Amino acid sequence: MNVKKNVLIVTDGVEPTVKMAEALAAVLKGSKVTVKDAASFEGNDLLPADAFFIGCEVPKPPSFGYIEELLQHINLAGRSCGVFTPGSKQTAQYLERIIMDSGAALNPAPFFAAGQKDLNSWAEKVIANN
């Protein structure tokens, strides 16, 4: 199995999202995982990724301004993406909208904190579809 590179993007300083990102990194043991806060994220962090995950607690967090802009102008076709949130369905919809223009494949449905027991299978589905 090839090593997958995954970038986890979380809102800056939001503990519930950071905990989800850490749990996600832990279940992807066979992959090279890099966890980044949105505030320190740079476009070239995403370019080498085979698959990526993006999460936040509320829609339009201030630290996501650069990410939103980048995802409107980058071609990520063929790369799998999973969105996760400790927040609401509206947050998941926001994340899906900002991914849409990049051409990345959202796969599968968003992951919510309430479904932690299914995290391993959800994460594996995301990275399996590259």
What is the residue whose two structure tokens read 């904190």? Answer: 113
DSSP conformation letters of the chain: -PPPEEEEEE-TT-HHHHHHHHHHHHH-TTSEEEEEEGGG--HHHHTT-SEEEEE-SSSS-GGGHHHHHHHHS---TT-EEEEEESS-HHHHHHHHHHHHTTT-EE-SS-EEGGGGGGHHHHHHHHHHT-
Per-residue model confidence (pLDDT) at position 85: 93
**Which pLDDT score, from 0 to 100, does residue 11 have?**
61
Per-residue pLDDT of the chain (130 residues), as tens digits, is: 455 677 667 665 689 999 999 999 888 888 888 899 999 999 888 888 889 999 999 999 999 999 999 999 999 998 999 999 998 999 999 999 999 999 999 987 899 875 556 888 888 888 887 6
Query: In the chain, pLDDT over 90 holds for what percent of residues?
Result: 45
For the chain, which domains are there?
5-128 (3.40.50.360)
- Position 1 scores a pLDDT of 43
